[in-house]
Amino acid sequence: MNDHHKLGRELELFDSAPLIGAGLPIWLPDGAVARHAVESYLYELERRNGYRHVYSPPLAKREMYERSGHLPHFADDMFPAMDDLVLRPSLCPHHAMVFAARGRSYRELPLRIGELGGMFRAERSGVLGGLQRVRAISLNDGHIFCAPEQVVGEIAGSLRLMKQAQQALGFEPSSIRLSARGLGGKYVDDPAMWDRAENQLEQALKLADVSYVEAPGEAAFYGPKIDVQVLIGGRESTLATVQVDYYQPARFDLSYVDADGERKRPVMVHRSAAGSMERLFAHLIEVHGGAFPAWYAPLQLAVLPVGAGQDAAARAFAAECHAAGIRAERWIEGTVASRVRAGAQRKVPYVAVIGPREDQDGTVSLRDRVVPVQAAIAELSALCKLPR
């Protein structure tokens, strides 16, 4: 089995330092390059799907989390307040403030707000490990503010967006759960609200043709959700979710002016297309054994001159690849065979070899073919760019 801790260390993707603390991993340069490519892809995917992106700070006043319901219902998972400020356990209230920044009309709905933002959870030290469960979380988050009749369509759209992201990233969920309320006091007490929200999630799952299992007792405190489950270290974790929320819009008194001139309450659909960057990469490292699809591989191409005579050609080729947006390096140390092995160990998807023959003909050798330089650059750049 591929263990993301071990591969993450071997491939220098991330590290944990005792001096920083448990559950606070740092992304090393190669891990950061891969993550940046994935973030860029998600940003573009959301932008094409009508999201407007925002930035919001990872702290807010206690009062905001009293209002959102987090302090009454979720305080065990939060860090203690610092004076009047709290490290946020989720982005929802900040995005509610984006909606509330000015008066809203029904014409603006659905308003889709996206952010790759930081949030914090006071996880017990016993459960922390690698990237799978952390205390500082970078979430690909989004909130859709919509009219009640748009809810099902927006959930189904979020499910389709997730599916598209999963295909591009190269993984499939182990299961999709419909997480409903269970027994116990942690859930907001409003049975009619729960029934309506659960029903809408079910309708959307059918509309998007997604098969799922039911999981009572796994809902958020404010509403039911759809969970995308993946295997990490052989165990199922929740990667991404879609949630319907009638509670926070009421708590923050959000409203829009409808076509009939009346003030109406929007519904909030919380959704993540690909989860937190930490948990996503714990899974991606394992599912790909560290050999990521080329578009988010830290290094995409190693250029190997056979001897010193081809160094100039290799240098020129690597520079042109760079200019074409390919993450390329020229490797000159050791035999060609040892450099090809190093490429495999570092999970570099493409290797271009330039010997005297290639140099003379203006070509490069890719795995099993000899290709003219310009054609090789065009082909590699198509293989290495962000998917659409």
- Binding region for Zn ion (CB under 5 A) out of 87-95, 160-168, 191-199, 335-343: 87-95
List residues bridging with 143 in a β-sheet: 113, 270
Contact between 351 and 304 under an 8 Å Cβ cutoff? The reply is: yes
Taking the complex as a whole, the smallest distance from the CB of residue 143 to Zn ion amounts, in Å, to 6
Tell me: does residue 137 bind Zn ion (CB under 5 A).
no
Taking the complex as a whole, the smallest distance from the CB of residue 249 to Zn ion amounts, in Å, to 12
Taking the complex as a whole, the smallest distance from the CB of residue 92 to Zn ion amounts, in Å, to 3
List residues bridging with 343 in a β-sheet: none
- What 8-state DSSP symbol labels residue 295? G
347-359 b/e with 16+ CB inside 10 Å = b?
A: bbbbbbbbbeebb
Quote the Cα angle for 270-273-278, to 5°: 105
Tell me: does residue 73 bind Zn ion (CB under 5 A).
no
CB atoms within 10 A of CB 228: 26
Taking the complex as a whole, the smallest distance from the CB of residue 270 to Zn ion amounts, in Å, to 3
Taking the complex as a whole, the smallest distance from the CB of residue 243 to Zn ion amounts, in Å, to 7
- Binding region for Zn ion (CB under 5 A) out of 86-94, 149-157, 195-203, 249-257: 86-94
Q: For Zn ion, give the closer residue by CB, 92 or 193.
A: 92
Which string of x and - marks every residue 216-255 that binds Zn ion (by CB under 5 A)?
----------------------------------------
- Candidate residues 88, 196, 270, 288; the one interacting with Zn ion per rule CB under 5 A: 270
- Binding region for Zn ion (CB under 5 A) out of 71-79, 269-277, 313-321, 326-334: 269-277
Tell me: does residue 92 bind Zn ion (CB under 5 A).
yes
- Binding region for Zn ion (CB under 5 A) out of 270-278, 294-302, 353-361, 378-386: 270-278
Q: Among 19, 20, 23, 3, which Cα is nearest to 11's?
A: 3
Alpha-carbon distance of 202 to 41, in angstroms, equals: 29
Contact between 377 and 385 under an 8 Å Cβ cutoff? The reply is: no
60: left (phi over 0), alpha (psi -120 to 50) or beta: beta
Residues of this chain that interact with Zn ion (CB under 5 A) are 92, 270
